[in-house]
Amino acid sequence: MALSKELLEILACPKCKGEIYLNSTEDGLICDNCKLLYEIKDDIPIMLIDEAKPVSQKI
């Protein structure tokens, strides 16, 4: 089960409170302002700043 559209609409970056969106492989959420990727594991977005990866880093 993928993330619902409704959930994606209410989620925000925990660091800057800005918009986030699904990446092209749909395994993470990206914040363009902070240049961070929040991974999605077992259909649960891991919205912890300390666990976010820089967007340029491969996972």
Conformational region of residue 44, where left means phi above 0, alpha means psi within -120 to 50, and beta covers everything else: beta
- pLDDT of residue 1 exceeding 80: no
pTM for the complete prediction?
A: 0.86
CATH code of the domain covering residue 24: 2.20.25.10
In a domain, 59, yes or no: no
- Cβ(8)–Cβ(22) under 8 Å? yes
CA pair distance 37, 47, nearest whole angstrom: 9
Place of tokens 């961070």: 36
In a domain, 16, yes or no: yes
- What is the domain extent for residue 31? 5-54
Predicted pLDDT at 50: 97
* pLDDT, greater one: 48 or 59: 48
CA pair distance 17, 26, nearest whole angstrom: 21
Predicted pLDDT at 57: 57
Q: What total number of domains does the chain contain?
A: 1
The pLDDT tens digits for 5-54 are 888 899 999 999 999 999 999 999 999 999 999 999 998 999 999 999 99
Helix extents (H) in 1-59: 5-10
